[in-house]
Every structure is written in C-alpha cells, then in structure tokens.
Structure 1
C-alpha cells in the first residue's frame, strides 16, 4: 500500500516482474482500507508492504493495528525517506523489517523469505516473530481496554524480560540522557550498534520510539 498512485502502480509492476509466480491480491492508498482487508480472511495477504509516510492513519499505526489483531500477515515497512527515522517505531508496531522503497529486488527477496517462514536478510529486521509480536501487542491492547492500572506493572515486566544484558545497559545510559555516540564510546561499540540496541529494546518494551522506551524503562525501575 502507498499513498502515491504512481508509486503504487510502479511497485506493483516491478513486483509482478520480479515475482511472476506471486499473486498480488490488491493495492490501496488508505490505511483503514488495508487494515480492513488484512482482518478479513477472504482478502488477507501473506505479505503486506506498508508505506511508512501515509497520511491520516500512519504506516506505523497500520502495522500496529494489523499485528495486534493477527500474526498471519507478514509486514514489511517501506519508505523513500530515512530508514532509521521509521525503523524503531515500525518494528515496535509489529513490522518484520523496514526497507528502502527503491530497492524493489531486495523487498521481493524479503517478501519471499517471510512467506516461507524465514528471516529476511536486511539491516532493520525484528528479532521477534510475528506470533511473538502479536501476543505482545494484543496483550497491551487488552490492558489499555481494561484500564486496569494494577495489571500494567506485571505486563511491563513481562515485556522487558527478553532484554539482553547489553540492551539493559544501553537503556540505563539512555535514561541518563547520553547520546548514541557517547554510549558507543563508553561501551566500545559503534554509534549504529547503539541505535540498533535501542531499537530492539524499544521493540521489546512496546515503545514507539527512544523517548517512550526510556520512559518505560524508568517505570520498571521504580
């Protein structure tokens, strides 16, 4: 799905050329339409490409709504803008990976991998399966619907459990207000590695971005 009609047609043409045996079920420009079609068994695709910079219902929110409802659709976030700008939010919303919209051949490879139960070989990829993401987001939605503050610490604790020691250390330093470069110097790793750790921690904390991840982390320390 894409909000630009010309880009949408070009993507469909290139995908059909690269994957002649694939069945491109449908394409749409509005997020609400994509969510509705993915929640219907009759129109649900195996893989959905989601433009990150949609108007109205954002691409990140499209991913979140679909993933909270089902694990049966593989979600690939695509954008012509900075991947780093969208990666953490999209992966936290249940996308399996985020890719450059112009790299159609790589996107097709990722779609084939996901459709066959494999992890795509790309830079920004989730370390959780669709089923794990679905369980986490569905649980969070249920908690929000119930508005039961007594259960939220337990749910948050369950979400933070998978964090690795390095991810915990990075979050501790983020909470101190240190930049990615400063954290990298302290830990002896590159700045890009720090951003990857933050992205993964945000995903596991069900946070949409670094700021929310730090807030969730601090809440868990109390």
Structure 2
C-alpha cells in the first residue's frame, strides 16, 4: 500500500519520530499534529534542547527513524545539530522545519545533510513529508542519509567545535554578546569564556575573536 497525497497515513510500515524545538508552543503544536494526523507513526521523544537531542541520538533505544528539528535553536543551531547527527548516524532521516522563508535556510539545511525542509506553518506539508520519509530516504532534491554522511566526512572543514564552544561563538556572533554577557548567559566564569574563545580561534585559525566570528558567520 502506498501513501497518497490526500491520505498520507495509509502506509505499510510504522516509524518512530522525535521532535526538537526550543519554543514550547511550537513543540506542543508539532507534537499534537503528529499524534493526531501521523497515525502511521509513534512519538518517541521530544526535546527543547539540542544537547539533549544529541544525547538521545547516541543511545540505540532512542534513535528515531525521523527527527524533526527547527532550524533556529538556542545554543547549537538546527543545521549543526543535523550535521552532528548525520556524521554518526545514517538510520535517522532528518526533517528540518522553519517558520521563516524556506529559501533563508535551504542552503544551510542541504549542507547539514538533511533529507527535507518544510515550513513549520504548513501542517499538510509536514505530514506529507513525514509520510514520504517513512517510505523513502529523502524528499526530492535532497541527499539520502548515506550520501550526506559520505559528503560531510570528505569535506575539508575546520575541526568540529565542542557543544560549549559552538554555543559561545553563536552568542558572540549572532547576538553580539560580550565575554561578560556570555558568562552570565551560560553560567560560567568570564575567564572560562575567554579560554573557550581562545580554543575556538585556534581551531578556526583566526588571529582575533572578530576574525573567528567572521569565519563562523561565513560558514553558516
């Protein structure tokens, strides 16, 4: 039996879904949508924190068949979360969602190795995308998990930042926070923030924090 556009819940298999979104209202809406309309799937877990999502995906029993993640998260951004998962996992199909225009995130999503990108505001498109990923490896125009992992492993990129380093460079580059403000935001000493920035600059081969920010933004 195949999945039709009008009735995507008709399918021959069952899949486990996980959802990541740091907006509690959006997470609740996505959860309700899946429970009510994706009757061919079960909700395995949800998370408002990308780090927790990574921990879930490192445990065999918590690895979902489909992971739905917002592209705009706190700390680790959605594209980085997808990239980290894809480098260690070819089982999970990654479906990125955003409330912004799809064109603003399409390049990031593709580079991160996702299997599809849809609008968070289009419930029908979300359900149809889930149904498609349930029976195939990717949406049209997107890489399969295996192809995406192969590409990411062969790309010449800077050494992967740690989760904490990425959180800090994100706060500095995208919100313009000072070391003191970052210290207050994440609850560590200012000296610790400076030490992390030193490591970030070294990994990025940047001579200054400003140059590291430019490199980070240029690669997003």
For residues 94-146 of structure 1, the C-alpha deviation after alignment (integer angstroms, 9 at most, x for no partner) is 1111110011221121112112125435xxx41x21101112213448x866x
Counterparts of 1:73 and 1:132 in 2: how far apart (Å)?
13
Q: Tell me the residue number matched to 1:133.
A: 148
SS at match of 1:90: helix
Q: Indicate if the aligned counterparts of 1:46 and 1:72 stay in contact, CA closer than 8 A.
A: yes
Q: Out of 79, 91, 103, which is 2:110 matched to?
A: 91
SS at match of 2:55: helix
For 1:37-56, list aligned pairs within 5 A: 37-56=56-75
Counterparts of 1:25 and 1:212 in 2: how far apart (Å)?
32
Query: Unmatched 5+ residue regions in structure 1?
Result: 146-207, 214-222
- Please, what TM-score do these two structures have when normalized by structure 1? 0.60
Q: Indicate if the aligned counterparts of 2:137 and 2:144 stay in contact, CA closer than 8 A.
A: no
Runs of 4+ in 1 over 2 A off after TM superposition: 118-121, 138-141
Q: Indicate if the aligned counterparts of 2:87 and 2:152 stay in contact, CA closer than 8 A.
A: yes
Q: Indicate if the aligned counterparts of 1:60 and 1:89 stay in contact, CA closer than 8 A.
A: yes
For 1:23-172, list aligned pairs within 5 A: 23-117=42-136, 119-120=138-139, 125-126=141-142, 128-140=143-155
Counterparts of 1:8 and 1:18 in 2: how far apart (Å)?
15
RMSD of equivalent CA atoms: 2.5
TM-aligned CA deviation for residue 82 of structure 1: 1.6
Evaluate the alpha carbon distance shift between residue 22 and residue 140 of structure 1 in structure 2; reply closer, same or farther with a 3 A threshold: same
- Please, what TM-score do these two structures have when normalized by structure 2? 0.60
Higher helix share: 1
SS at match of 2:118: strand
Counterparts of 2:92 and 2:25 in 1: how far apart (Å)?
25
Q: Tell me how many residue pairs correspond in the alignment.
A: 146
